[in-house]
Structure 1
Amino acid sequence: IAPEASVIDLSHHIPPQDVAAARFVLWHSYRYFPEGSIFVCVVDPGVGSDRAIMAVQTRQHTYLAPDNGLLDYVLAETTPRQILRIENPKVMLPTISRTFHGRDIFAPAAAHLAAGFPFTQLGPLHRYQVPPSPFVQARPQAALTARVLHADHFGNLITNCLLPPDWQGRVRVGGRSLLMLRTYGEVEVGHALALRGSHGLLELSIREGNAAQVFRLGPGDPIEVLGS
């Protein structure tokens, strides 16, 4: 369909059916892709049901994804120009299975778009409520409750709390108070710390350990953030 298209495998390490993990990985990755990129986002526990397959066009990118919250973080900070429901059989394979829409609908629709198929002909308009931003901003001398967004491969707990580069303060979790540090190497192996991670978000870590297991926390769990 589009033999000259460049295909980048953004991730095949999302845990099965983990929409929250996919939502976070897409959010921290999309901004690094050039204008005109098409994202095929298939973490789709509802495959074969009446859930919509959305095509979302923003100023820079196009996203194909099930309407299951996967795009929430991206669309909270990018303005969609148009949101359609993919229903045009011209962009699908001739035979559609009930269990593999990634192969039968998502991938061929993306290929047709890459080959020049008009976005507006994918299907009818789709009603989608753009969610509020999930992120909170840490402020000096102010306390707030952050929440875990994601536990990464190393067990680091990444929260929704945006930190300025020079923020000083403490984090309280599981009855323990953690000081903000800059690097993992500032504590001994096995010790806990809080730091500003590569996404500009507050993270809780165990040096050479797994904070998610030690603190027994995961997405949605609260973290108390105390300003300096």
Structure 2
Amino acid sequence: MSLITLTTDFGTKDHFVGAVKGAIYSELPDAKIVDITHHISPFNITETAYILKNAYKSFPEKTIHIIGVDSELSKTNKHIALELDNHYFICPDNGLISMIASEIKPTKIVEINIHNHIESSFPVLDVFVQVASHIARGGSLNVIGKEINSYKNIVEIQPKINQDQTVIIGGVIYIDNYGNVITNINKKLFNTIGKGRDFTITASRYTFNKVYNRYNEIVDYSAKDNNQFDGEKLAIFNSAGFLEIAIYRSNLDTVGGASNLLGLEYRSTITIEFKTVITPEFTTIN
């Protein structure tokens, strides 16, 4: 039985998701299909990359991941299939792989060339399903495309570091269901550059000097009313290891979330400035 995941910006109102699933079952009646999400913001590549990077690792090896975001074929947006971390990905070469492959490099990448035999304005249905079915049957990637050595990179996904390594400049790449704001700065980079130094995180006009590991670390359980901490802002390394600006027990319908309460949105700049360690000067006495 083949396990195939779907990640798209199709939504669930239209026929697109149903048509793709029907085509997979027509090719592979015993397939198991899992929806990661169909509610990616339209054409949002960084959001796609963040969600997929943190979801695919929970699936068994050899899972096939079909990604339908910004998937229309063009001269600058080719279609690729690749093997990475013992998983298969079928997607447009629009830069989303550069985040997924930031730490683990692909074993093999091919540029899909079966378009020569298929005319389609809906490549996820007509092309990606065919590729997924071929892989599920044990077929080689080389049969459906020519091997290539590179893929498109998105610069905005990668945070920048100043020359003397005292400042990390990142940005917002995703806003979750609670309104929490996720940045492209991960804990590994923070620790590597920070080296235990004091720091100031600046997000819009707000600053933070501490990063929590759990949301409820902000609560003082000796207080008479723990609810007084609801709505407090905090910085945290989330379960995916990325720096997040959050509101404790946020609710977009009542308390609000970090995105609207702090005025942060997709691509907003987040800066971390580490304090410079001053080496004391010593005078030699003769």
The 1:130–1:48 alpha-carbon spacing in structure 2 relative to 1, beyond 3 Å, is: closer
Aligned to 1:172: 202
Q: Offset of 1:47 from its aligned partner? A: 1.1
Aligned to 1:106: 128
For 1:22 and 1:65, locate their aligned partners in 2 and report how far apart those are by CA, in whole Å: 11
**For residues 57-81 of structure 1, what are the alpha-carbon distances to aligned partners after superposition, in whole Å with 9 as ceiling and x for unaligned?**
2351111100111211112222222
For 1:88 and 1:95, locate their aligned partners in 2 and report how far apart those are by CA, in whole Å: 7
Gaps in structure 1 of 5+ consecutive residues = none
Aligned to 1:96: 119
For 1:63 and 1:182, locate their aligned partners in 2 and report how far apart those are by CA, in whole Å: 31
Aligned to 1:213: 260
Instruction: Give the ranges of 4+ consecutive aligned residues of structure 1 lying more than 3 Å apart after TM superposition.
Output: 129-133, 164-170, 181-185
For 2:134 and 2:151, locate their aligned partners in 1 and report how far apart those are by CA, in whole Å: 27
For 2:273 and 2:131, locate their aligned partners in 1 and report how far apart those are by CA, in whole Å: 47
Q: Which has the larger radius of gyration?
A: 2
Q: Quick check: 1:55–1:62 contact (8 Å CA) kept in 2?
A: yes
For 2:182 and 2:160, locate their aligned partners in 1 and report how far apart those are by CA, in whole Å: 13
SS in 1 for 2:182: strand
Deviates more, 1:170-179 or 1:74-83: 170-179
Aligned to 2:173: 149
Q: Offset of 1:21 from its aligned partner? A: 0.8
For 1:103 and 1:7, locate their aligned partners in 2 and report how far apart those are by CA, in whole Å: 14
Gaps in structure 2 of 5+ consecutive residues = 1-26, 220-228, 251-255, 276-286
**For residues 26-60 of structure 1, what are the alpha-carbon distances to aligned partners after superposition, in whole Å with 9 as ceiling and x for unaligned?**
1112222222111111102x514333110112351
Aligned ranges 1:22-171 → 2 under 5 Å = 22-44=48-70, 47-50=72-75, 51-88=77-114, 96-98=119-121, 100-126=122-148, 128-129=150-151, 131=153, 134=158, 142-163=166-187, 169-171=199-201
For 1:34 and 1:23, locate their aligned partners in 2 and report how far apart those are by CA, in whole Å: 19
- Identify the match of residue 195 of structure 1 among 192, 215, 236: 236
TM-score normalised per structure 1: 0.82
Deviates more, 1:170-179 or 1:35-44: 170-179
Higher relative contact order (CA closer than 8 Å, sequence separation 6+):
1
Between Structure 1 and Structure 2, the one with more helix by share is 2
Letter in 1 for 2:46: A
Letter in 1 for 2:233: A
| RMSD of aligned Cα (Å) | 3.0
Letter in 2 for 1:113: I
SS in 2 for 1:22: helix
- Tell me the matched-pair count: 220
SS in 2 for 1:125: strand
The 1:175–1:64 alpha-carbon spacing in structure 2 relative to 1, beyond 3 Å, is: same
